[in-house]
Structure 1
């Protein structure tokens, strides 16, 4: 019994050891190959929507190594397997026949002339760089090869080799080699070129283009001969391939989209990104930027950028973040201006017009005051420096007038407009609304070309989607642009209440189609059916930034021009510096057309023909136009009923003229300050007839043009330290009127025709009194401050341009 027990223990002991040893060996075999097999250090690669290479950067380890592509090019695969491992698809990672043949050759030659390695074994060797070619390492490569064959498909193993094989210098992988040596992708290589690259990994340090060309040619031709004998290429192809030259130099990798590649690499380093960009259009835009910059540089303007996108899908088609010229780093062409915040100028005005139109707060022909105005710490000025007195709202937008825009923003409210812009996609509003104030509409905030292109595209898409999808409104109508293939703009489900109605967006775009084009675009009306572009320009204060953004139902094109360091230049305006490039890019695009009016949302409304307000009972003439429902502007405030004498030359009243002989007329009368500027540019405008001498007709014939805000005035000193002065200006309905000026009850001056008075009062309270030759009187009190810090707060002006 005891002997049986010991015999049983002795029998089980070796078996247990064998089991444990076998399990340990299997465990080691399973885990002996690292995961991942190769460090994931790759070159960032950017591709167009159809897979063409837009650009790449060297990997962080100093190698040109592209991320693993799809299946290798068929010609290269045939060349590689013919040269390295013709039985690749049949062996389990080790080819005993090849090993035996290599052993015989090495013994016969007395040195190592063949390794007998399969392609899988070579992958294992590539994963163990720097290891000596010893028998122990060869055995380990064989074990690794068996492991790889169990874990990966043949296609995956082939991809590993193709992406990790050395091709000489710092070129790793077939794709990088094809571009560095032949300037084209692997699938476009000829048989001779594929054969050349197939033999390079065999001895990359000894043979590569430009070094030992004779040996390289011999190896290539031997491989071509072998493929010819095995029937892979015909005789003609073989003969022609033998005559093909070897690559003579190493080429640079294409760099068609420098700034987007840099952005992509920062976002996710070392990855291959398929973009939405159109390869051909991207090259055209790059060439246009180079040509345009050559013209701008004559005025020392060295930077510009452009962005093109589809309206319907928000897909970016071209992205040129700056002029693609990097030979002079002093101009900062490496900076991506598309995503750099810059002063907006007047480029945001269409969104205020759209918001007010949607809210029923303005009508297209409604007159907006265009006279000198002054708000606390803010004095807007039109880009031209002149005033029209009153301008229809749509015309003010088309002409990009600053004063009407500020008047409209004051009515709409800075806070609501601030939130409208943020919801519309403006991401650069990082301060509270009060920080920007009324200057928000004239460049008081910064924006980016990326945001602007998305906002304008969304404005157009509201109209196109409404027409195409039977009145559909998404929850997120203002969606950002997308630049990666596979991404889509998330607009959400149908909205219960639209953020902005299509009718308001359509009227805004209609106004923008009336903007005058640059001189080189004259005659565009003859091609209106294909060239109807709604566009807007903007110029920042100091002529530092020129913007131009245009939309059609299919595309949006956004352009910026200026200097990256912020240096302003005379003539650096949106119209002169950015718009010509925008129109040139539109010339590359097919289609255009007009925006279909959202007829279901537009209702006919009668408006006073002269004022654009809703007609009062005194308005004789009206025009019926289509506007969004819910208009809530007031009745015309400018028509009044007046009484004339029989000659119709004088205004009279019942106190001085028989009522039975009075002639009643309805008259379009603007306030004196608006009247003063309006009649200069409107010859048909009829000012009020004068009052008959001896009559007292209730009227306010005078109005102070400047300063309109009288409470506090800061008068800066001159450069030489002498006290400065303030110029008072008065408007009077009667061009021939004589005005008498008094300051603090003391007579100061008499003016005729041009009613201006220069004063340099001391600090403190003062009173200015003005009377006319008919005895009408106007009196204002004002306070002169004497602190220098009041200059920025009280006398600041702003001029932005279109």
Structure 2
């Protein structure tokens, strides 16, 4: 039977080849009559907070406020639009012939178009075919395409297309923008009266203008509400209350809670709606903090502030303030967060961590802090003072420049540069030789985004390690994220570190916790409610950039203050300008516990209490936790055994004292230059006692050394306004402050000094030998090259 039917069909096709061909062509044309994407409009870029609140939008390229399509249409608007525009919407298949017939009669009677008779489906097609003249021929095309649209999409989808592209007056397109523009609400928050008002607008968009056609709009809205009441969509109380609601007046402004994040999203997701990770409450309060400080700092002509807050556990951006609420003249639209700026001292914790991790130092290893000149480069501490020597952790906490430069010289610029590359600091992109030792003092540039990412990596590494008892994650240095639809993948567990070990990070954070707090918070240690924060500031040369970055287990907060134009200002520093903002932001969050010690990555060792080195047998030592990788550091070089008399006032030996009166004692002895400055800061420091009269100094201890000049340097003599060469000041430190020193240039005697050993020198250009001799005949020499300009 089936075979007979099939043969009959084939015979008919053969007999009517032309009709069959035409029919097939028509079917194909009908099938492809609508493009796959119905609307290729320019859409507004929209951002929402993590909880779905509307926080910003950037107008579409064609000047229309047209939001991307929503996944659904709110119930109230759905009932209103169907009741007003197409009450048989869920029954017809794209067009309503009865409605079209009545519209034809009315239009013919009025001799003009007074009624369209179009269904919602047809109106979607008309919006798709924007610009086509209204005619009966065009109406026929709409009917055909409407049926095709009904084949393709569900009724709910068609309603979504209509709600997203219908005109709502002026340059407002789509329900979502209309809902915000006229009522300051999201569509699902609309009342019945508000939904009814919007439902009648696409039919007559011009009615929405405030103060114009208000009565007509009111009448249309109320008629629709009555229809909803008669259809029993709403009850009597709802109807009567809805009639009392006023019409919208002044349009609501589009919120700009995170305008610079909106800029970023518009570049990366143009024309999309992005639900961000921003916590709107935190964002608004950070905005307020920035606004308050902007109003204060602009009095010093400092106009730009940026703040970034990162959730360490997820790497999500909690708050993004790309700039202060300044004006066009002061670059208000510039997003500072990803702008490269001079780093100042903000990279110092990375060097400290790297040297701990590589066993180059211990947490409290003494680092020299004396006048230093390296290949013509002379770093200075912020206060222009010297400590002689300072524990590495204190050097970091106090942000001392000279110890940092000397640490970098020991570690090497190239090795440190490689560590910064591992941390993915994109703006550190020149060859290491271009930076030199200034790399640690602001010679490089970085941006707030990358710095917060790097510090979040350190916090995340330490927290994960202590929670898992010895595991790292392969993608711990994950990029920061602002998109709620994206979940950061931290990779697989592993035993090897990514950049830094957990023990080195823990020691670094402990040092950073001791950084002196801003004015008014100096006594934070004495309050139980105080926040424990690892933090660091930075100030670039000339007061151009002020940085502050703070780290806890939960959050990283980064702050930059300055002028986007690069103009420096006096009194602009990280501690005084950026740090107060940092601590105000941290006060928005609950107090958290301090980082747990990663004991699996630490080892308890005897450490010299005075030098911070691994203890040798002559040191006063105590057990301290150090990173496992740091145990290879050298033993204390500053403690040595000396022989003194019983009063400990003189050094002696068996040439001048009987053995029974000789006491062997461990003594902490620093090199002369370091000692010269160290003793002025440490009243308990005891210099080596002199030899007792008649004793011979068998060890020939080095008693003095040059402070300036360093070995084999060029000295450039300058001229005053009258063209006269100005002298250079030579400086020497001697362990005996009462000793007289005698100075020579080549073989020419220059003079002698006591107490303060400084000598003026003016010499001819060329290479010279400077010799200094003390009263005991001990001499030091220094070879220098003198030039004049």
- TM class, shorter-chain normalised? over 0.9
Residue 387 of structure 2 is matched in structure 1 by: 388
Normalising by structure 2, report the TM-score. 0.95
Partner deviation per Cα, 1:192-243 (whole Å, 9 max, x = no partner) = 1111111111022455444311211111111111112112222222222222
- Report how far residue 14 of structure 1 moved: 7.7
1:530–1:592 CA contact under 8 A, matched in 2: no
For residues 109-188 of structure 1, the aligned pairs below 5 Å read 109-188=110-189
Structure 2 Cα separation of the partners of residues 720 and 426 of structure 1: 49
1:175–1:185 CA contact under 8 A, matched in 2: yes
- Report how far residue 252 of structure 1 moved: 2.0
For residues 346-495 of structure 1, the aligned pairs below 5 Å read 346-495=345-494
Structure 1 Cα separation of the partners of residues 69 and 615 of structure 2: 71
Residue 707 of structure 2 is matched in structure 1 by: 705
Residue 752 of structure 2 is matched in structure 1 by: 750
Q: Tell me the matched-pair count.
A: 775
Highest RCO, 1 vs 2 (Cα 8 Å, sep ≥ 6): 1
Structure 1 Cα separation of the partners of residues 576 and 722 of structure 2: 37
1:429–1:445 CA contact under 8 A, matched in 2: yes
RMSD: 2.0
2:428–2:444 CA contact under 8 A, matched in 1: yes
Normalising by structure 1, report the TM-score. 0.93
Q: CA, structure 1 residues 718+38, in 2 after alignment: closer, same or farther (shift >3 Å)? A: farther
For residues 141-540 of structure 1, the aligned pairs below 5 Å read 141-205=142-206, 207-325=208-326, 328-499=327-498, 500-528=500-528, 531-540=531-540
Structure 1 Cα separation of the partners of residues 724 and 199 of structure 2: 85
Structure 2 Cα separation of the partners of residues 384 and 231 of structure 1: 80
1:531–1:592 CA contact under 8 A, matched in 2: yes
Q: CA, structure 1 residues 112+403, in 2 after alignment: closer, same or farther (shift >3 Å)? A: same
SS of 1:520's equivalent in the other structure is coil
2:375–2:713 CA contact under 8 A, matched in 1: no
Residue 723 of structure 1 is matched in structure 2 by: 725
Unaligned runs of 5+ in 1: 1-9, 789-802
Residue 544 of structure 1 is matched in structure 2 by: 544
Structure 2 Cα separation of the partners of residues 513 and 402 of structure 1: 19
Structure 2 Cα separation of the partners of residues 716 and 257 of structure 1: 54
Deviates more, 1:549-558 or 1:518-527: 518-527
Partner deviation per Cα, 1:157-198 (whole Å, 9 max, x = no partner) = 111111111111111111111222222211112211111111
Residue 83 of structure 1 is matched in structure 2 by: 84
Residue 625 of structure 1 is matched in structure 2 by: 624
Deviates more, 1:658-667 or 1:186-195: 658-667
Residue 762 of structure 2 is matched in structure 1 by: 760
Residue 616 of structure 2 is matched in structure 1 by: 616
- Report how far residue 667 of structure 1 moved: 1.1
Structure 2 Cα separation of the partners of residues 12 and 577 of structure 1: 87
- Report how far residue 604 of structure 1 moved: 1.1
- Report how far residue 727 of structure 1 moved: 1.7
Structure 2 Cα separation of the partners of residues 540 and 654 of structure 1: 58
Partner deviation per Cα, 1:311-340 (whole Å, 9 max, x = no partner) = 111111111111134xx2111121111100
SS of 2:517's equivalent in the other structure is coil
Structure 2 Cα separation of the partners of residues 57 and 418 of structure 1: 39
Structure 2 Cα separation of the partners of residues 171 and 624 of structure 1: 71
Structure 1 Cα separation of the partners of residues 68 and 551 of structure 2: 37
Residue 662 of structure 2 corresponds to residue 662 of structure 1:
yes
Structure 2 Cα separation of the partners of residues 696 and 566 of structure 1: 63
Partner deviation per Cα, 1:715-751 (whole Å, 9 max, x = no partner) = 3444554434322111111122222222232222332
- Report how far residue 64 of structure 1 moved: 0.8
Residue 735 of structure 2 corresponds to residue 736 of structure 1:
no
2:474–2:492 CA contact under 8 A, matched in 1: yes
SS of 1:380's equivalent in the other structure is coil
Partner deviation per Cα, 1:681-718 (whole Å, 9 max, x = no partner) = 11111111123345442121111112223332233444
- Report how far residue 523 of structure 1 moved: 3.7
1:737–1:753 CA contact under 8 A, matched in 2: yes
Q: CA, structure 1 residues 141+448, in 2 after alignment: closer, same or farther (shift >3 Å)? A: same
Residue 797 of structure 1 is matched in structure 2 by: none
Structure 2 Cα separation of the partners of residues 374 and 694 of structure 1: 40
Unaligned runs of 5+ in 2: 1-10
1:350–1:508 CA contact under 8 A, matched in 2: yes
Partner deviation per Cα, 1:36-65 (whole Å, 9 max, x = no partner) = 222231111112122211211111111111
2:470–2:495 CA contact under 8 A, matched in 1: no
